[in-house]
């Protein structure tokens, strides 16, 4: 018996894992692209900061955002795996 009193089917778990991994990889790649890009418009750096410090802070924020996006994609992928199995079960 599982920890919540529910027995999980190995097919369900493996399908959810595969879909979550694929979706998470897609999310990681899509969120990684803008990390090191600067905007075309020359943004003003806040007072008391150098351009390098400001860029470092922006990259750190974008890396945290990348982790969040990856997790959201993985969750959506796992849900997509469940929906995929439900569609297959109806046929």
What span, in angstroms and rounded, lies between the C-alpha atoms of 22 and 82?
Answer: 14
Question: pTM for the whole thing?
Answer: 0.80
Please name which of 67, 58, 74 lies closest in space to residue 24, comparing C-alpha atoms. 74
Q: Nearest-CA neighbor of 67 among 19, 35, 37, 22?
A: 35
Mean pLDDT of 74-82: 96
Whether residue 1 is predicted with pLDDT greater than 60 in this model: the reply is no
17-62, pLDDT tens digit by residue?
999 999 999 999 999 988 888 777 767 888 898 888 988 998 999 9
What is the token pair recorded at 12? Answer: 């369900």
The tokens for 86 are 């439900």
Q: Where are the domains of the chain?
A: 10-90
Answer whether 19's CB lies under 8 Å from 77's CB: yes
């Amino acid at each position: 018996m599982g920890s919540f009193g529910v027995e999980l089917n190995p097919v369900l778990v493996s399908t959810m894992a595969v879909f979550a991994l694929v979706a998470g990889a897609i999310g990681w790649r899509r969120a990684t692209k803008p990390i090191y890009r600067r905007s075309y418009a020359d943004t003003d750096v806040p007072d008391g900061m150098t351009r390098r410090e400001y860029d470092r802070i922006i990259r750190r924020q974008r890396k945290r955002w990348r982790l969040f996006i990856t997790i959201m994609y993985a969750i959506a992928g796992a849900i997509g795996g469940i929906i995929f199995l439900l569609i297959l079960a109806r046929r």
